[in-house]
Amino acid sequence: MRKQFVILGLLSTIMVRSQIVSFDIIEPSKKPSFSNINTAAIKNFSEPVQAIVAYYAALAGSNCNGITCELTNALGLGNQGSEAHKALLQKYFKGDKTAEALITKGCYLPSTTDPVYSNYEYLRFLVEGNKVIIQYKVMQKNKEVIRYIESDNDEIWIEPNGLKVKKKKLLQTLK
């Protein structure tokens, strides 16, 4: 009988440790080029998870107007490509070629009033231990042509020495 309780206890511990927690960073909106940012969730993220949000904020837009983007503001980093934004990427994405390219171009994203821009329809994080799975849908507008890019479950791992990008479809697709 005691062995059964021990086994049940171990199973419940394993199940709790492998629990996936889902966060909608940008919730789906019915309005095109409008981002519905979940600021309450963002404020409770650890700094490494905020760095992942900052990384994705530099990949596609969140109702950008000039250098002001809603997602970067919700993170408390100020304008897109601010020193705080770049410093957070540099701290957690050491040696990541994509992060280095984003920093070099100042993390700039075109405004939603420009003829060519991208904007998140939704951005969702699934956190399982030290693994973050990123799901998204991005609307990319090129003059009058609109296309949508959906995630293939990008993965970023939180490791003691920084963040390790395992899969990243979004940047490859936006090129």
Both tokens assigned to 81: 């490509």
Question: The tokens 């957070």 sit on which residue?
Answer: 88
* pLDDT score for 138: 92
Q: What are phi and psi of 110, to 5 degrees?
A: -65, 150
Counting as low any pLDDT under 50, the low residues of the chain are 1-16, 175
Nearest to 33 by CA among 114, 150, 127: 114
What pLDDT, in 10s, does the model give residues 30-53?
Answer: 665 556 888 888 988 999 999 999
Bridge partner residues of 151 (DSSP): none
Alpha-carbon distances of 13 from 10, 19, 44, 103, rounded to whole Å = 5, 10, 24, 41
* DSSP-derived 3-state class of residue 31: coil
